[in-house]
Amino acid sequence: MTAESEVAAVSANTARAAEVSKAARREARRRRGFGSPWAWLIFILGAIYFIVPLLGTFEYSLRTRPDNLLAYRQVLADPKFAGGLLYSFIVGVITIIISLLIIVPTAYWVRLKVPRLRPIVEFVTLMPFVIPPIILVFGLIRIYSIKPIQLTASNFGSDLLLVAAYVVLSFPYMYRAVDTGLAAIDVRTLTEAAQSLGSGWIRIMWRVIFPNLRTSLLSGAFLTLAIVIGEYTIANFLGRNVAFGPYLSLLGRNAPYQPAAVSLISFGLTWFAMGIIAFLGRGSRGRVQLAGAH
């Protein structure tokens, strides 16, 4: 047998193996059919659990008379709504960028060079779950309201503190998302492959690590954004009532139907963000396959 015919024979078998595997999947799908009635029951119960409160809120938000959509019109016409949303969005984006710049290199380095430190780093990133935001913000105010670094004296200084606090709050979500992404790729070998091809650390991070963490980074980023947009305590105590969280709280005190409308609008925005994650992360399944004879 010549090398060419051997290659052809092997390729033919590989193609056949793929066909067989596809046919087996089709057969398994056919056998499964529509699934068991129990699975459907659990699915329907779960759907009711999530959908009924939403429907209730929606129905309540439409009770304004004579114009059923008045609450939505008022919310969307209120410049504080758009202003608050934009402010929180900008703060959220800055938080995400800083958080990514801290977490990605840290998680990468820990996995690559000092894996024994991983439990410690994991513990540190969990601190925001242990320390309530109220404690965090009081600590920040106590330290940064006196000289030499008196940040709370100005709006800009408070904005800086707000971002810093949000970066800390984002750690558990961002670290877990990034760490999970790193676990799915062979970080060490990919790094070494890039190094052997002449690549330095910055290029490795930018061209190899970041793109392969795309879905994880997006998950971490949108979780962070969702937290920042709805956050009330820190923004309120730092006097940044222009943020969306304090705006929502203020609105709830003065108007009966608008908070329901705002809740649904922010819920819609969150789902929109999730849709973006799903859209941008499409096709990434299977790309991390690094080895295997087939």
Among 116, 253, 282, 294, binds another protein (CB under 8 A): 294
Q: How far apart are CA 225 and CA 219, in angstroms?
A: 10
CA distance 50 to 42: 12
Binding residues with another protein: total (CB under 8 A): 35
Per CB under 8 A, the list member of 103, 161, 185, 260 interacting with another protein is 185
Cβ distance 181 to 216 under 8 Å? yes
Site for another protein (CB under 8 A): which residue of 199, 233, 236, 241? 199
Of 69, 114, 149, 193, the one binding another protein (CB under 8 A) is: 193
Looking at the Cβ atoms of 7 and 143, the one nearer to another protein is 7
From 71-79, 188-196, 226-234, 244-252, give the range in contact with another protein by CB under 8 A.
188-196
| Cα atoms found within 13 Å of the Cα of residue 122, Cβ hemisphere only | 11
- Considering only CA atoms, give the Rg of the chain: 25
Looking at beta carbons only, is 79 or 283 nearer to another protein? Answer: 283
- Which residues in 202-241 contact another protein (CB under 8 A)? 203, 207-208, 211-212, 214
Q: What is the closest distance, in whole angstroms, from the C-beta atom of residue 197 to another protein in the complex? A: 3
For residue 104, the minimal CB distance to another protein (Å) is 15
CA 193 vs CA 176, 184, 187, 208: distances in Å: 26, 17, 10, 10
Q: Considering the rule CB under 8 A, would residue 292 count as an interface residue with another protein?
A: yes
77 binding another protein? (CB under 8 A): no
| CA 17 and chain centroid, separation | 38
CB atoms within 10 A of CB 136: 19
Are 266 and 229 in contact by the 8 Å Cβ rule? The answer is: yes
Single residue of 57, 180, 195, 249 touching another protein by CB under 8 A: 195
Are 167 and 121 in contact by the 8 Å Cβ rule? The answer is no
Is residue 290 within the footprint of another protein (CB under 8 A)?
yes
